[in-house]
Amino acid sequence: MPIFLASSKMKASEFTKQSTVEKNKTEEIIQRTLKISPERFFIEKENLIFSNSKLRRVQKNIDRYKSGEPIEYIFFQASFNGNIFFINKNVLIPRPETELILQKTFKIIGKKKNLKILEIGTGSGALIISLAKRAPYQNYFATDISKKALKIAQKNSLRHNTKINFIVSNLLESVNILPDIIIANLPYLNKSEARNLADPKRALVSPGYPTYLIEKLLMQISKMNRSIYIILEIGYNQQNLKKYCKKLFPKSQISIMKDPSGYNRVLAVTN
């Protein structure tokens, strides 16, 4: 049966036409606000009628989106690598480009088991959880300097039934394990680049200069005196990190992977 709402006031199709937001976003906000599947909405939108209360709820979320608030924060949900994660304004919204870290890590793992894999600055946990779901026979660890972020990561890990050891730490300062693989998507923007982004500035902007945290992490790793695979997300114009790595890890292979748009995106240090 078609969906009808009490106290009918406006058809969904008419509301979509009148909205000042692009059609696909308007329809997504309607679906998520009213908890209607995209398939059902497509079939029944000509018969779907808004009551005053439903109309107000939808319009409120559209206004939030128009003001610049991302849909992910409005609905506390983000998609990454085909999985859904709980998020809020304490953590970065995961981006598709970060999936390059997954691709590179899976290649390194291959058929190996019982590796110690450590993520620095886990945020929502989307990256390490996605790894743990697809390569479960490893030992996973994740750090973040923010206790609020770690609570979200722990919540997501529980939802996805993954076993991950979470550690409150500023980079490697409180880490007592010797990892085989280190992955990270640390802040690497400057203030002007992050100005129009809604994510927490602490998750976007590096203190000092854009590559400061990445360089600090690389320096810490170099002092571990251990052969470690390193896979880090970097900015499109931060190719000089390759030279920095060559000084720290002269016997390792250093490479930079480009994202689907052709921009430098992932720095890999392999043995």
Pairing relation of β-strands 181-184 and 164-168?
unpaired
What DSSP element (H or E) covers 117?
A: strand 116-120
Residue closest to 242 by CA, chosen among 252, 187, 182, 120: 252
pTM here is 0.91
Count of helices and strands (H, E) across the chain: 12, 11
**Both 141 and 220 in a single domain?**
yes
88 and 185, same domain (yes or no): yes
Q: Is the per-residue pLDDT at 64 higher than 80?
A: yes
- Within-domain flag for 73: no
Q: Are residues 246 and 116 in the same domain?
A: yes
86-95: pLDDT as tens digits: 999 999 999 9
Name, in order, each residue with C-beta under 8 angstroms of 142's C-beta and a sequence gap of 6 or more.
118, 119, 122, 125, 128, 153, 164, 165, 166, 167
Radius of gyration of the chain (CA): 22
Quick one: 151 and 49 in the same domain?
Answer: no
Give the residue-averaged pLDDT of 94-102. 97
Greater pLDDT, 11 or 220: 220
Identify the band that residue 1 occupies on the pLDDT scale cut at 50, 70 and 90: very low
pLDDT at residue 7, rounded to an integer: 42
Q: Which has more confidence, 4 or 225?
A: 225
- How far apart, in whole angstroms, are the C-alpha atoms of residue 119 and residue 233? 12
CA geometry: angle at 220 spanning 134 and 179, to 5°? 30
Q: 171: alpha, beta or left, given left = phi > 0 and alpha = psi -120 to 50? A: left
Residue-wise pLDDT for 107-159, tens only, equals 999 999 999 999 999 999 999 999 999 999 999 999 999 999 999 999 999 99
Is the pLDDT assigned to residue 70 strictly greater than 80? yes
* Residue 188 to residue 186: CA distance in whole angstroms: 6
**Stronger pLDDT, 2 or 45, i.e. the higher one:** 45
Q: How confident is the model at residue 48 (pLDDT cuts 50, 70, 90)?
A: confident
Query: Domain tally for the chain?
Result: 2
Helices assigned H by DSSP within the chain: 12-18, 23-34, 38-44, 52-66, 71-74, 99-109, 126-134, 147-159, 191-194, 201-204, 212-222, 241-248
> Is pLDDT of 201 > 50?
yes
17 and 119 belong to one structural domain: no
29 domain residue, yes or no: yes
Lowest-pLDDT choice from 47-51, 71-75, 149-153, 201-205: 47-51
**Rounded mean pLDDT, 223-233:** 96
**Residue 137 burial by Cβ neighbours in a 10 Å radius (0-12, 13-18, 19+):** exposed
Q: Is the pLDDT of residue 49 over 90?
A: no
176 and 266 co-located in one domain: yes
Residue 68: band (very low, low, confident or very high) from pLDDT cuts 50, 70, 90: very high
- Domain assignment present for residue 28? The answer is yes
Asked whether residue 6 carries a pLDDT value surpassing 70, the answer given is no
How many CB atoms sit inside 10 A of residue 183's CB?
28
CATH code for position 99: 3.40.50.150
* pLDDT, position 231: 99
Give the chain's mean pLDDT: 93
Q: What are 147-198's pLDDT values in tens digits?
A: 999 999 999 999 999 999 999 999 999 999 999 999 999 999 999 999 999 9
Residue 48, number of CB atoms within 10 A of its CB: 23
Is there a domain that residue 204 lies in? Answer: yes
Residue type, 3: I
Residue 205 domain-assigned? Answer: yes
Q: Looking at the structure, do residues 218 and 253 belong to the same domain, yes or no?
A: yes
Q: Are residues 44 and 162 in the same domain?
A: no
Residue range(s) defining the domain that contains residue 41: 8-67
Compute the half-sphere exposure of residue 43: CA atoms within 13 Å on the CB side of its CA.
8
